[in-house]
Amino acid sequence: MNTGLADFFDLKGQNHEELFAGAKHAWEVLPRIADYLKKNLKNGSKAKIIGSPVIGENVHLGEGTIVEPGVYIRGPAWIGKNCEVRHGAYIRENVIAGDGCVLGNSCEFKNCVLLSGAHVSHFSYVGDSIVGRDVNLGAGVILSNYRLDGQAIKVRAAGTVVETGLRKFGAMVGDKASIGCNAVLNPGSLIAKGAKILPGTIWSGSQK
């Protein structure tokens, strides 16, 4: 498996071109998210706010997005148009979501990108990861981002071991992939476009 952005994601129409520009390996985007948001984040909201969710100062919510009661968006965060941010979602620092995404009940998001149409609907953790277009993470899916021994994360791709230099790196989940309920993707997982991971799987490595 190759490791460029185009090997996992169709970025046409996703905006945020500056964030993705020039990355040799897809995971190189992850350390850029904080600086990109600091430079480019547009504050303000055109969302429908239901009840009294907690929304930090450095948060942009696009037109047509719905934010339900019990949501906590600490920010910085940039949420696109026509998204659903459901009750109990915890959106920590440095999160970008494209249009039409679902950030669901009791899900936690941290330093990650969700491309348009990504659904993370129930009881999941998404840290230091990119989730592609129209991906579905089933209930309870965990994108684990930290090795138990604290070492920098390596990936195996195209028959070689690649040093990422990152101590926190969850997964690259390619467009239209589907991850079954209660699956765990271990740090540095590479999931190809359209791939399927069965429920309850403990996954490491690359999935073609």
The CA distance from 133 to 175, in Å, is 5
Among 30, 92, 88, smallest CA distance to 59 is for: 92
Q: Are 172 and 186 in contact (CB under 8 A)?
A: no
Residue with tokens 């993707």: 185
- Which amino acids are annotated catalytic? 122
> DSSP character for 87?
T
- CB atoms near residue 146 (< 10 Å): 16
What is the largest distance, in Å, between two alpha-carbon atoms of the chain? 52
- Nearest residue to 61 (alpha-carbon basis) of 36, 90, 82, 38: 82
Where does 69-114 show beta strands of DSSP type E? 72-73, 77-79, 84-85, 90-91, 95-97, 102-105, 108-110, 112-114
Peptide bond into 53 cis (omega under 30): no
d(CA 32, CA 15) in angstroms, rounded, equals: 15
